[in-house]
């Protein structure tokens, strides 16, 4: 494991533990350009690593550095804002960017399919959350138009979502995992799987957020051996004493990953795989139809776009089919993280 320093203008980022454990990158907070320049004098083999949600904050300072000297890890752009992606074109010192939620292709079938799945799930029914099926369809097409305004002229790779600080701190405490161990390693996986107890089939705890999530979760609430709980705030950044989520991950066969505010996936996907549970997720949803590597892309048309159809199908599969899907999802997800780690190591030299 290599050990490097990355600088961030944010006092706390959701991926801090993920960066440290999986990539050997320790994040350091800097409040001013002067602090950064002073602290970065002893860089990683002449390479500066920055982790940020806001490239504009960094560009004037980083352009005072020599060319080809900066690795920029762009995180948190869940709105797919073209200005954020495009701003890195002005970073003259950039060697390589790792981009969280980078823009991908959007096909018409990935717009139409999620809308059909939304309707099948009950999307025409009245809900507590504002919006409609038709509003989501407009959002999907607007995202496709938004992607056309993104012009990336710099070398970049996708940065995997990974896991959150809260999850990492809780699983480390519960399983007693040492600091140097990757949470994706086989030795850690064996320890975690030994803690599993099959109590639920389908489980979720999290924020309500939007109409599509409300419709998604309504299709699970009445299923036997299933549980859906809500909390009022995002808990990914800081550790607290609430163990509800981590206990769900270790006691459910399937963990629900409903649509978020803007994008289709979140940290819950990787976190469920680490804990031996299969994530239930739409291949694409009515808000975010962009191409992804979700394991559910392998399912039939209606099963991958409708959660009602998907849970009915999954509830009836045998252990061999379950293990096939779980191993596939885990392999794809963990390989993405491993490939990113190797690329960062190679770029730093």
Averaged pLDDT for residues 88-92: 97
Residue 79 sits in a domain of what CATH number? Answer: 3.40.50
pLDDT at res. 234: 59
pLDDT by residue (tens digit) across 19-31? 999 999 999 999 9
Averaged pLDDT for residues 51-60: 95
Cα–Cα distance, 124 to 133 (Å, whole number): 7
pLDDT at res. 239: 60
R_g of the chain computed on alpha carbons: 20
Confidence bin at 192 (pLDDT 50/70/90): very high
Cα–Cα distance, 172 to 161 (Å, whole number): 19
pLDDT by residue (tens digit) across 103-128? 998 999 999 999 999 999 999 999 99
Report the number of distinct structural domains present in the chain.
2
Residues 244 and 264 in one domain: yes
Which residues, at least 6 apart from 228, have a Cβ–Cβ distance to it below 8 Å? 203, 204, 205, 217, 220, 221, 256
> What are phi and psi for residue 110, nearest 5 degrees?
-80, -5
Residues 219 and 251 in one domain: yes
Confidence bin at 236 (pLDDT 50/70/90): low
In this structure, is residue 31 part of a structural domain? yes
In this structure, is residue 217 part of a structural domain? yes
In this structure, is residue 112 part of a structural domain? no
**Taking 70 as the threshold, does the pLDDT of residue 1 lie above it?**
no
Percent of the chain scored above 90 by pLDDT?
83
Cα 188 → chain centroid: 21
**What's the whole-model pTM score?**
0.94
Q: Do 132 and 205 meet the contact criterion of CB atoms below 8 Å apart?
A: no
Residues 181 and 227 in one domain: yes
pLDDT by residue (tens digit) across 216-234? 999 998 899 999 998 876 5
pLDDT at res. 221: 83
pLDDT at res. 209: 85
In this structure, is residue 242 part of a structural domain? yes
Distances (CA, A) of 25 to 3, 163, 314, 321: 6, 15, 38, 37
**Taking 90 as the threshold, does the pLDDT of residue 319 lie above it?**
yes
Domain extent for 194 = 168-333
pLDDT by residue (tens digit) across 292-305? 999 999 999 999 99
**Taking 60 as the threshold, does the pLDDT of residue 2 lie above it?**
no
Residues 191 and 223 in one domain: yes
Confidence bin at 265 (pLDDT 50/70/90): confident
Residues 17 and 93 in one domain: yes
Residues 183 and 286 in one domain: yes
In this structure, is residue 69 part of a structural domain? yes
In this structure, is residue 30 part of a structural domain? yes
Q: What is the mean pLDDT of the chain?
A: 92
Residues 15 and 157 in one domain: yes
Edge-first strand listing for the sheet containing 4-8: 25-29, 4-8, 48-52, 70-74, 94-100, 156-159
**Taking 90 as the threshold, does the pLDDT of residue 41 lie above it?**
no
Residues 292 and 190 in one domain: yes
In this structure, is residue 235 part of a structural domain? yes
Residues 274 and 341 in one domain: no
**Taking 90 as the threshold, does the pLDDT of residue 42 lie above it?**
no
In this structure, is residue 135 part of a structural domain? no
Residues 177 and 156 in one domain: no
Averaged pLDDT for residues 154-171: 95
Residues 11 and 157 in one domain: yes
Per mean pLDDT, which range of 131-135, 200-204, 228-232 is the poorest?
Answer: 228-232
Cα angle value 339/343/346 (rounded, 5°)? 140
Tell which residue, 321, 322, 303, 323, has the closest CA to residue 312: 303
Beta bridge partners of 340: none
Averaged pLDDT for residues 254-259: 96
pLDDT at res. 314: 97
Residues 230 and 328 in one domain: yes
**Taking 70 as the threshold, does the pLDDT of residue 89 lie above it?**
yes
Cα–Cα distance, 64 to 81 (Å, whole number): 26
């Amino acid at each position: 494991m290599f050990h490097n320093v990355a600088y961030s203008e944010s006092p706390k980022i959701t991926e801090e533990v993920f960066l440290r454990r999986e990539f050997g990158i320790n994040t350091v907070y800097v409040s001013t350009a002067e602090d950064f320049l002073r602290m970065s004098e002893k860089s990683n083999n002449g390479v500066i690593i920055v982790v940020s949600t806001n490239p504009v904050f960094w560009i004037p300072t980083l352009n005072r550095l020599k060319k080809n000297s900066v690795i920029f890890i762009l995180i948190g752009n869940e709105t797919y804002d073209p200005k954020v992606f495009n701003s890195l074109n002005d970073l003259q010192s950039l060697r390589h960017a790792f981009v969280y939620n980078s823009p991908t292709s959007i096909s018409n079938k990935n717009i139409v399919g999620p809308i059909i799945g939304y309707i099948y799930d009950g999307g025409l029914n009245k809900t507590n959350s504002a919006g409609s099926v038709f509003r989501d369809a407009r959002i999907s097409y607007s995202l496709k138009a938004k992607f056309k305004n993104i012009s990336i002229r710099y070398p970049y790779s996708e940065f995997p979502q990974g896991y959150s600080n809260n999850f990492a701190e809780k699983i480390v405490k519960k399983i007693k995992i040492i600091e140097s161990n990757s949470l994706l390693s086989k030795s850690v996986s064996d320890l975690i799987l030994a803690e599993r107890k099959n109590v639920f089939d389908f489980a979720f705890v999290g924020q309500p957020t939007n109409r599509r999530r409300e419709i998604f979760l309504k299709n699970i609430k009445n299923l036997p051996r299933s549980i859906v709980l809500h909390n009022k705030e995002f808990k990914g950044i800081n550790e607290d004493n609430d163990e509800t989520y981590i206990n769900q991950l270790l006691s459910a066969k399937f963990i629900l990953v409903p649509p978020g505010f803007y994008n289709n996936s979140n940290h819950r996907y990787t976190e469920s795989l680490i804990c031996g549970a299969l994530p239930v997720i739409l291949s694409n949803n009515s808000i975010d139809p962009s191409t992804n590597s979700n394991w559910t892309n392998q399912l039939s048309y209606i099963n991958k776009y409708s959660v009602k159809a998907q849970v009915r199908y999954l509830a009836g599969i045998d252990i061999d089919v379950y293990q096939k899907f779980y191993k596939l999802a885990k392999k794809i997800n963990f390989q993405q993280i491993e490939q990113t780690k190797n690329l960062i190591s190679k770029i730093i030299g």
